[in-house]
Amino acid sequence: LAPLKQPWRSPGEPQAPFSLPAPRWPVECEVIQETIEHIEWAPPKPEPFCPPMGPEQALCTLGEDQGTVVYHSSPVLQGSCFTCARVGGAPGPLSSPAAPLEGPQDTTLLFESRFESGNLQKAIKAGPYEYVLMLRPDLYTAKHTQWFYFRVQNTRQEPLYRFTIANMAKPKSLYGQGLRPLFYSQQDAQSHGIGWRRVGTDVSYYRGGAGEPPLFRLSWTVRFPHDGDTCFFAAGYPYTYSDLGRYLRALAADPARSRYCTVQALCHSLAGNTVPLLTITGPGGTAGKRAVVLSARVHPGESGSSWAMRGFLDFLLSPHEDAQLLRRLFVFKVVPMLNPDGVVVGNSRCSLAGRDPNRAYGKALPGSFPGVWHLQAMVQRELAEREVVLYCDFHGHSRKNNVFMYGCDGSGDGTGTRLRQRVFPLMLSKNAPDKFSFSSCKFQVQKSKERTGRVSMQRLGVSHSYTLEVAFSGSTLGGRSSHFSVEDLESLGRLLCDTLLDFCDPEPTKLQQCLVEADALLQRRMGRGPGSGGSWSEVSPSELESSTSGSDSSVSDG
């Protein structure tokens, strides 16, 4: 159970090519043989939010118990917990969860979700072109229904289809503020090079009934672009474990980028999937350098965090002069996919332990939460050798627009420390004024968040520890009111690099300006006049900010 170690390899020294093996699935999960891949594409212009419908406008939809079940895929759980895994999932022939078509005139859609990161448990045909859908809860739990990703075939171009996901878990969602689902047409991809795009009209999000616990409904209407097409819907831009494997293989095959990057296994997950660790630094090894630690995808349904992480890695490993300076100054330890099992099976929040790994820091056992345990152990080893100047854990947020951060503010901290905690997010807001909202940042540590990554790293001794939250939707800043594209998400990684250079600049002008501005913002929040002075060390964190919703897990996290 000791952390996996590997001797430091000097830059330029050959290394054995690293590659992630094929994903391993719990043996009760059926997996189709087809490989699901999508092209990358940037929309020619920003995709605007749609006018949301209120609950009173939502079209009347039949319930789950009415209509005809046309797809039902539910793994037969062998007991209440994970037992074992294998490549390809369940052995033997696959079942047929989709109802067979009665002939060429049958317009019933054919659903499928038994592929990597897929999530759809049941589809009910409630009308000629209307379907009620049920998501599969996170494996070995009965909750956390949010992420969806499924395929439909046998489409017709003319009709207006309506889909309703009837078991969403959260009372509030950005779907009620203009967020639209993602859609992918295989014919459009092959013929026109068009990839994932936002679709849907009459999008509504509302409570579905009086039951307990309450469930919520997401409904949208759409027209398919072609007859007989193969299409996909998803909650976010999918980024699978296999996508990460392809990225790491390309990195290992690139002689320029691989000079600065060593890839090794941090550990293996419960299912035996590799949790990769990237060590990135410039010539001269690690002596005398400070460390920066980043992680992503502890919550598998927050796929935007993987695209932001890819943008960070692309920039840091580029020949750009700022990237060269960062590699010269720091040792970067990067865990791009902390919960690969959850990503593979299409969970929203949990690992195969049936729990949220981002509530397991400090108490995690390596046999139950190996990624969290080994990440924490790795940071402890780094702290024994050097200062870790920054930890940042990349997440996604389903209820608030824009990009923002959560930090760690203790009431016992001195004024300088508390202001400095706010400087990095404030700098990032200046570097990304059309994406990052400093006013949405929170620094109070609620009791329910004490086992999160950022709080645990701060208590280990990391001087600046944050959660980076990227909205599932997009930005309302800088004149925007539009969804984030993949390019937007990747740009966050570059902007984080820019901010790190500003934050650690030996010329203190920018830092001092931001300290003064952070102090003025707090004075204004407390109702004090500008320049009134006074210490912040005796003011409680709750007084410094309103107790609005914190991280995305406060709802439905038991």
- CATH for 241-528? 3.40.630.10
What per-residue confidence (pLDDT) applies to 540?
66
Structure tokens of 258?
Answer: 């691989």
Non-local CB neighbours of 115 within 8 Å, separated by 6+ positions: 31, 32, 34, 36, 151
The DSSP bridge pattern shows strands 290-296 and 388-397 to be parallel
Residue recorded with tokens 């939707």: 473
User: What sign does the CA torsion over 487, 169, 362, 352 have?
Assistant: negative
CA distance linking residue 166 with residue 198, whole number of Å: 20
Is the CB of residue 139 less than 8 Å from the CB of residue 345?
yes
**Active site includes 469?**
yes
Structure tokens of 197?
Answer: 């795009």
- Burial tier of 253 (Cβ tally within 10 Å: 0-12, 13-18, 19+): exposed
Residue recorded with tokens 């645990």: 456
Amino acid found at 486: V
Q: In the chain, what are the domain boundaries?
A: 27-36+62-234, 241-528
From 158, 469, 538, 545, active-site residue: 469
What per-residue confidence (pLDDT) applies to 7?
40
What per-residue confidence (pLDDT) applies to 79?
53
Amino acid found at 147: W
CA distance linking residue 221 with residue 203, whole number of Å: 7
C-alpha closest to that of 162 among 37, 36, 53: 53
pLDDT tens sequence for the chain (558 residues) = 334 444 444 434 444 557 789 999 999 999 999 999 999 999 999 999 998 776 545 555 555 567 999 999 976 564 578 999 999 999 989 999 988 999 999 999 999 999 999 999 999 999 999 999 999 999 999 889 999 999 999 999 999 999 999 999 999 999 999 999 999 999 999 999 999 999 999 999 999 877 778 899 999 999 999 999 999 999 999 999 999 999 999 999 999 999 999 999 999 999 999 999 999 999 887 888 999 999 999 999 999 999 999 999 999 999 999 999 999 999 999 999 999 999 999 999 999 999 999 998 887 678 889 999 999 999 999 999 999 999 999 999 999 999 999 999 865 566 678 889 999 999 999 999 999 999 999 998 877 788 898 999 999 999 899 999 999 999 999 989 999 999 999 999 999 999 999 999 999 899 999 999 988 888 887 776 655 566 655 666 666 665 444 556 544 333
- Burial tier of 415 (Cβ tally within 10 Å: 0-12, 13-18, 19+): middle
Half-sphere exposure of 476 (CA within 13 A, CB side): 17
pLDDT tens-digit readout, 281-298: 998 878 889 999 999 999
CA distance linking residue 301 with residue 156, whole number of Å: 30
Q: Is residue 206 within a helix (H) or strand (E), and if so which, with residue range?
A: strand 201-207
CA distance linking residue 26 with residue 22, whole number of Å: 13
CATH class entry, domain 27-36+62-234:
mainly beta
Give the Å distances, CA to CA, from 5 to 282, 296, 372, 525.
Answer: 20, 21, 16, 48
CA distance linking residue 395 with residue 23, whole number of Å: 22
CA distance linking residue 514 with residue 419, whole number of Å: 9
Angle 438-440-441 from CA coordinates, rounded to 5°: 70
Non-local CB neighbours of 324 within 8 Å, separated by 6+ positions: 282
Q: Is residue 221 within a helix (H) or strand (E), and if so which, with residue range?
A: strand 216-222
What per-residue confidence (pLDDT) applies to 211?
74
